[in-house]
Homo-oligomer: A and B are copies of this chain.
Amino acid sequence: MHNEILKDIGEKELIRRITKFMPTNQASDDCAFIESKGENLLINTDLMIENTHFNDEIISPKDIGWKAVTTNYSDLISSGCTEFIGINIGLVLSPKTEWRWVQKLYEGFSEALNNFGGSILGGDCSRGETKMISITALGLQNKLKLRRNACKPGEVLLTTGIHGLSKLGLLIKSNQITIKDSNISKKLIDQSINAFCRPTPRHKTLKKILQSSENFIKREIGCTDSSDGFYQAIFDLSQESKCKAIIDYKKIPKNELWPKGEKWDKFYFFGGEDYELLISLPRDWANELIRMDNEITEIGYFTKGSPKVEIKNYPNKRNLDNDSYSHF
C-alpha cells in the first residue's frame, strides 16, 4: 500500500510504526529517561495545536500557556520527577497574531513556572499558517522511578482524584453542552471549566508517594497520568506491564454533583485531559498512602492475564464502548 494515508491507518498504528525507529528501552513511557553520570534526566515533549487543542473561543492565551507547561510537567511527575529544570519552547505564529496574545501566552508559561519550578531555557519561533506550541520539558528523576511497565499482578490500583471534569469543561466552553440541556449545577460548571483551563499536576501527591516509599524497598512502581483519559491510562499500564487490570465501578470516586448515565460515564472514562495519577502499589504500601492522603482512592487491582481493562459492577447490561480520542 504505497499511498495509504494516516486517516486509514489510525493513531495507534502510526505510533507503533514510528516507535520502531526508537531504541527499544525508550518506547513505552511518555517521558524519555536519560542516564547521566551525576543525575538522571527526564524529558518530555507535548504539542498544542490551534483548532486541535485550542482556539480563541474556548480558552484564553494565558490559560493555554499555563496548560502547556502543567500538562507537560504532569508527564514528568508521572515518571517520578520532583525537580523541574525548565522548558524549551517551539512557537509557530502567523504574522497576523496580535502581540497581546503572545504576551498573555508567556504570562501563562511564567505563572506555571513560578508555581512549579523551572524556567524558560530557550526555543525557536517561526511563521506558520496556524498557531502551534511545542514544549519540551526537562526534569530530574527522583530515586523512585515511576513507570508504565512496572505494575505487578496482585498490586492495588489507585487514583489520585476524579475524572471527566476537563471534558465537561471543554464541552461547555465550546457550546456542545448547554447548562439548560443538562441540568448541571453552577458549581460543577465552574469546577469543570477550571479543570479544562487550569489543570493542576499532581506534584504534591508525588511528594507523598516518595515520603511513603521510605518504608519500602521497591524502587520502581507502576504509574502513568490520565492525560489521554482515565480508561486509556489504565489500559496503557495493563498493556505495558503485561497484566490485566480489574477496576470496580462502585469504587470510582466521582464529583458529588456528577450526573448519572452512560453519557456521563463516557465523559468520565474517555474524556481525557485529566491529570491525575494512576498508581499500582503492593497492598501494604497502598494502605499507607491512602492513610496519608484522603484524595487517593483504591479502585481495583492487577492480576495475571492478557492485557485488558475489566470493569466490575458496571450498572448497565452492556459494557462501555471504548470512546478514546484519536488524532487520525
Contacts and interface: CB of A to CB of B under 8 A. Distances in A.
B39 A37 contact: yes
Interface string A129-142: 11010101010000
A154 interface: no
B122 A32 contact: yes
Interface stretch (A87-95, A176-184, A261-269, A314-322): A87-95
A217 interface: no
Contacts of A305: none
A328 interface: yes
Residue of A86, A90, A102 with most partner-chain B CB within 10 A: A90
Contact of A38 (B26, B38, B121): B38
B4 A98 contact: yes
A170 to B, nearest CB: 16
Interface stretch (A43-51, A161-169, A277-285): A43-51
How big is chain A's contact interface, by range?
Answer: 35 or more
Contact of A34 (B29, B53, B125, B138): B138
Nearest to A30: B122
Contacts of A1: 99
Given A37-B38, A90-B90, A98-B5, A128 B132 contact: yes
Contacts of A260: none
Contacts of A49: 92, 126-128
A107 to B, nearest CB: 8
B23 A134 contact: no
Contact of A5 (B22, B34, B99, B124): B99
B7 A95 contact: yes
Nearest to A46: B124
Interface in A87-129: 88-100, 102-103, 106, 109-110, 119-129
Which has the most chain B C-beta neighbours within 10 Å: A15, A53, A124? Answer: A124
A23 B127 contact: no
Interface in A1-28: 1-7, 9, 11, 14-15, 17-18, 21-23, 26
A100 B2 contact: yes
Given A4-B98, A49-B92, 13 more contacts: A7-B95, A9-B99, A17-B99, A18-B125, A23-B119, A45-B122, A47-B126, A95-B327, A124-B134, A125-B327, A129-B130, A132-B132, A134-B134
Interface of A: 1-7, 9, 11, 14-15, 17-18, 21-23, 26, 29-32, 34, 36-39, 41, 43-47, 49-53, 85-86, 88-100, 102-103, 106, 109-110, 119-130, 132, 134, 136, 138, 327-328
20 contacts: A1-B99, A3-B100, A5-B98, A6-B95, A9-B99, A17-B103, A18-B91, A18-B106, A23-B120, A26-B119, A30-B122, A36-B38, A37-B39, A45-B124, A47-B90, A49-B92, A50-B128, A51-B129, A53-B126, A130-B130
